[in-house]
Amino acid sequence: MQLEYAIGYVSLASVLIPIAIPVFTKPKIGPQLRLIVLILIFSLVADIGSLTIIHYGLNSLLVINMYMLVQFSLLVYIFYNQFRKARLVQIIYLFSLVLFIINILFFQGPWKLNSVSHALASLILITFSMYYLYQLLHNLPTVHIQKLPMLWICFAILAYYGGNFFLFLAGNYLSATPAFQRSMWILHNLLNVIKNLLFAIALWQNYRNVKSPSSS
* Domain extent listing, the chain: 3-211
Closest by CA position to 36, among listed 216, 145, 195: 195
Determine the Cα angle at 155 with ends 153 and 161, to 5°: 95
The pTM of this model reads 0.93
Fold of the domain built from segment(s) 3-211 = Rhopdopsin 7-helix transmembrane proteins (1.20.1070)
Rounded CA-CA distance 24/173 in Å is 43
Taking only the tens of pLDDT, the chain with its 216 residues reads 578 778 889 999 999 999 999 999 887 888 899 999 999 999 999 989 988 898 888 988 999 999 999 999 999 999 999 998 889 999 999 999 999 999 999 999 999 889 999 999 999 999 999 999 999 988 887 778 899 999 999 999 999 999 999 888 876 666 667 766 778 888 999 999 999 999 999 999 999 888 776 544
* DSSP class per residue in 36-85: HHHHHHHHHHHHHHHHHHHHTT---HHHHHHHHHHHHHHHHHHHHTT-S-
